[in-house]
Every structure is written in structure tokens, then in C-alpha cells.
Structure 1
Amino acid sequence: MSLKKQFELLATYNQWMNSKVYVAAGQLSATDLAKDRGAFFGSILGTLNHILVGDTIWLKRFATHPSCLNSLRVVADLQSPTSLGQILFDDLGRLSEQRIWLDRQIINWIAELSEGDLDFVLSYHNTKGISAQKRYSSMVLHFFNHQTHHRGQVSTLLSQAGVDIGVTDLLAQIPDETHV
């Protein structure tokens, strides 16, 4: 399977898992969602916001790739987050709407990438202003890994709150292969 196909799989997995997480989170009250549970970003709501913040920051960086100027134009126009812990939306409904929209943008962006696009060297500045030049494909992999890392934290927080989100393995999204 090509690297692009792997990223397409990760994009659909991201969308599927976000849907599951938000449905599960919807079973909790606003108070329970905002309760500080000792996670990196405090609460379930704080962690879900952080994932959206991280995705926005990275997608705005990815939008500087010459072949992504159109596919990520609407994301590039979003207001830049001011901190990694910024609460973009303080209610789950509005946060969920933005998440659904952003997941669609991610799927469309990945679909439009070519294998050659993945060899590009991305120049950017991190949130502390430090310059970096890294291979685009490696940064896309980091992007999806970051989401998975923090969704795992949300899964744990939901479990501690008595909510089971069910199967979370990427394996559930990998199609069976038939032998020819």
C-alpha cells in the first residue's frame, strides 16, 4: 500500500474515531466534560479543544505546500490559535460541529495529495518561533499520531467517567484483503 493510501486510511480512521469520541462525550453533562481530571489539558473538553487546536496549527502549516494552496485554503483562513491549551469552543455542540467540518477538510486534503507531494520539505516555525525544515510525509504522520495520542487520553478520561467508546483500534478500519 502506498504512503498516500496509508494517509487516506489514517484520515478516515481519524474521522471515525472523532465521531465515536464525540458521541461518547455527549453522554456526559457540561459540568462533567469541563471537570479537571488531571490530564495534560485538564478536562475532556480541554483535551478535545487541544486536538482541534493542534490540527488547526498543523493544517495551516501544511497549507503552505504549493500543491495544497487550494485544498487547505479555507483552513489557512482560520484564525490562528493563541496557545496549545486554548479553549476554542466551551460547549461540546459547537466543538463537535467544527470537528466534523475539519475532519472533512482533512479527508479532502489527503485525497488531493500525490505521492510526489509527500517528499516536499516543509519549512515552518513552531509555536515558540523556532524554525524547522522537515519532510512533509513525516509531518503528516506526526499530525495523525498526535490526534491518536490525545484521543487515547480522552478515551481514558471517558472510561473513568463511566463512558465506554467501544473499539478504538485502527485494525477495525483496515479492510480484509482477498487472495487472487
Structure 2
Amino acid sequence: MSQLSNYHLMARYNRWMNAKIYDAAATLTPAQLQQQRGAFFGSIIATLNHLLVADILWLQRFANQYDNGKLAAVAALTPPSQLDQILYPELSPLSAQRQWLDQQLYDWVTTLTELQLAGVLTYRNSKGVLHRKPFAAVLQHFFNHQTHHRGQLSTLLFQAGIDVGVTDLLALIDDEGV
């Protein structure tokens, strides 16, 4: 599998898993979503917001060098001011924004080239520190970060009595001539 194919798969996985997580979260009451559960970001709604915040920040950084005409709407968003910012305290508008962002991400990833993946991403982190890192490795971090926090969310949901079902990337990988 090429690097590009891998990132296409990861973008599909991101969209699929976010839909599963949000469908599961929709079965809870607003109070259950806000309940402090001892997780790094506290509640389910805060963790969902963190994922959206982080994805917006990274996609805006990517847009500065690797837009390909697909991230203009994301780049135009007001950048979140902190990693624990609650952009949407209610699930419905948060879910709508998540679906929109996942589509922007998918559409953008499908425009990337091997030459771009071989490039260097120059960006400033949330503390203003300048970094220059291999773009492909940062993109891998981006997808890994999502998986990490969705793992936390699936545990929080399970503790709330909700099973999100299969979460393995393997579910999206086709069999080869079995």
C-alpha cells in the first residue's frame, strides 16, 4: 500500500469512526455527555470538542502549505484559542461541524501527492514555537491523535453503558482474493 493509499484509508477510517462515536453519544442525555468522568478532558462532550479543535488547528496548518484548493473553508475558520476549548457545548451542532470537517479532510487528503508527502511542514504550535517536520510524519501523527482520543471516547461511552461496536481499522481493509 502506498503512503497516499494509507492516508486515504485513514481519512475514511476517521469519518467512519467519528460517525460511530457520535451515533453512540447521541443515545446519551446532555447531562451524561457533560458528566465529569475522570478522563483527560473530563467529559465526553469536552473530549469530542478537543478532537474537533485539534483537527481544525492541524488542518489550518496544513492549509498554509498543502491546501490544493480543498481547505480554504477550514482555513477561514477562526482558529481555536486553546486545546480544551468548548466550541459546541451541545452534541447536535458539534456533530454537524464534525461531519463537515471530516468531509473537508477526506476531500483534501485525496488531492495530496507523493511529492507533497515528501515535503517539510513549517508551522507554529499553540505556544508559538516554530517547527519544521516531515509532512508525512506529521500527517501520521494527525491520524494517530484522532485514534488515541476516539479510544478514550469508546471507553467513556462503554462506561456509560454504550458499546460503539467494532472499532478496528481492519474492518475497512478489503480482503485480497480470499
| TM-score bucket (shorter structure) | over 0.9
Residues in 1 aligned to 2:70 and 2:64: alpha-carbon distance in whole angstroms: 11
Pair 1:148-2:168 in alignment: no
User: After the TM superposition, which segments of 4 or more aligned residues of structure 1 sit over 3 Å from their partners?
Assistant: none
**5+ unaligned residues in a row in structure 2: which ranges?**
none
Aligned equivalents of 2:138 and 2:77: distance in 1? 20
Stretches of structure 1 lacking an aligned partner (at least 5 in a row): none
Say whether the 8 Å CA contact 2:33–2:45 is kept in structure 1: yes
Report the counterpart of residue 17 of structure 1 in structure 2: 17
TM-score (norm 2): 0.98
Equivalences for residues 17-166 of structure 1 within 5 A: 17-65=17-65, 67-166=66-165
Number of residue pairs matched by the alignment: 178
CA RMSD of the aligned region, Å? 0.9
CA distance, structure 2, for counterparts of residue 53 and residue 6 of structure 1 = 24
Give the distance between the partners of 1:68 and 1:136, measured in 2 at CA: 13
Distance 1:50 1:150 in 2: 9
Residue identity in the other structure for 1:61? R
Q: Shift in Å at residue 89 of structure 1?
A: 0.3
Counterpart CA distance in 2 for 1:85 and 1:26 is: 21
Q: Distance between the aligned counterparts of 1:130 and 1:82, measured in 2?
A: 15
Percent identity among equivalent residues?
Answer: 53
TM-score (norm 1): 0.97
Q: Cα distance, 1:69 vs. partner?
A: 4.9
Q: Hey, what's the Cα distance between the residues in 2 that align with 1:9 and 1:175?
A: 11
